[in-house]
Amino acid sequence: MRWMFLLLVVLNLFYYVWHQQQAPLRPKEVAPLALTQDSKRDIHLLSESAEPARRERAGSEAADAVCLFLGGFESESAAVAVEQRLLSLDIRSRVQSVEAAAAIDYWVYLPPLASRQASLRQLKELQARKIDSYIITQGDLANGISLGIFPREDSAKSVMQRLRDAGYESELRALSRTHRGYWVRIAPESRRLVGDALLQNLAFDFNGLQHQLMPCESIATSR
């Protein structure tokens, strides 16, 4: 009986050892580590993807910023005087110039011929007919013939009709005349300091002063 009892004990021990070796790895022992790694990886990717979006928004806001401009002066000295007044009030500003289209002129001309000699012969023909004209020496119309620049389109077309009656087919080109004006750009952070009362005082002291809200980058030429 004692040997039988010992045999059963040995068999039980052997079965326990065998069972422990064959048991599969439990998922709960590895799941927390995998989840932790995945969560860290997700947080890292979200922060990276949000950064370019923030930069893009900041760039867009800067491009769309609106500034207050004072001026429309004919002379730079008047704009400088306004700038100095504002700086004395701790209002950050700077003078900027802008080229604006003031009017349109209309240029009547004959296109260049095959050679300069041919154009000169044509010029002599026109002058013999008492038609004011001169040779063009520069630009894409060099060796063409200018028949005048007119402030009104109907005047230019009247000359074109006269030339057509004389047997010449002229062409018309619109020319923009530019006007340089001077403005004082108020820095965005100082715009709140420029109230209605200050604008009225400046308009009283500086004849012709205007104020406009425009994109900060709309006037690019600075003094």
**Would you state the pLDDT for residue 12?**
65
Burial of 25 (C-beta count, 10 Å sphere; 0-12/13-18/19+)? exposed
Section 77-93 average pLDDT: 93
Tell me which of 59 and 196 has the higher pLDDT.
196
State which fold the 64-101+179-222 domain adopts: Alpha-Beta Plaits (3.30.70)
Give the integer Cα–Cα distance in Å for 66 and 214. Answer: 6
The CA distance from 66 to 215, in Å, is: 4
In this model, does residue 31 exceed pLDDT 80?
A: no
Domain residue ranges in the chain: 64-101+179-222, 102-177
Domain 102-177 CATH assignment equals 3.30.70.1070: yes
Strand partners, 182: 73, 97
SS3 category, 104: strand
Instruction: Judge contact between 212 and 194, C-beta under 8 A.
Output: no
Average pLDDT over all residues of the chain:
78
Angle at 102 between CA 99 and CA 104, to 5 degrees: 120
Residue 34, pLDDT above cutoff 80: no
List 70's β-bridge partners, or say none: 184, 211
Q: Tell me the per-residue pLDDT of 92-146, one tens digit each, with 9 for 90 and over.
A: 999 988 777 678 899 999 999 999 999 999 999 999 998 999 999 998 999 999 9
**Which pLDDT score is estimated for 97?**
84
- pLDDT, average across residues 178-202: 89
Asked if 64-101+179-222 and 102-177 have one fold, the answer is: yes
Cα separation of 47 and 40, whole Å?
11
Alpha-carbon dihedral 56, 58, 64, 69, rounded to 10 degrees: -150
The predicted-structure confidence for 138-182, as pLDDT tens digits, reads as follows 989 999 999 999 999 999 999 999 999 999 999 999 988 777 889
Query: Does pLDDT of 74 surpass 80?
Result: yes
H, E, C per residue of 185-214:
EECHHHHHHCCHHHHHHHHHHCCCCEEEEE
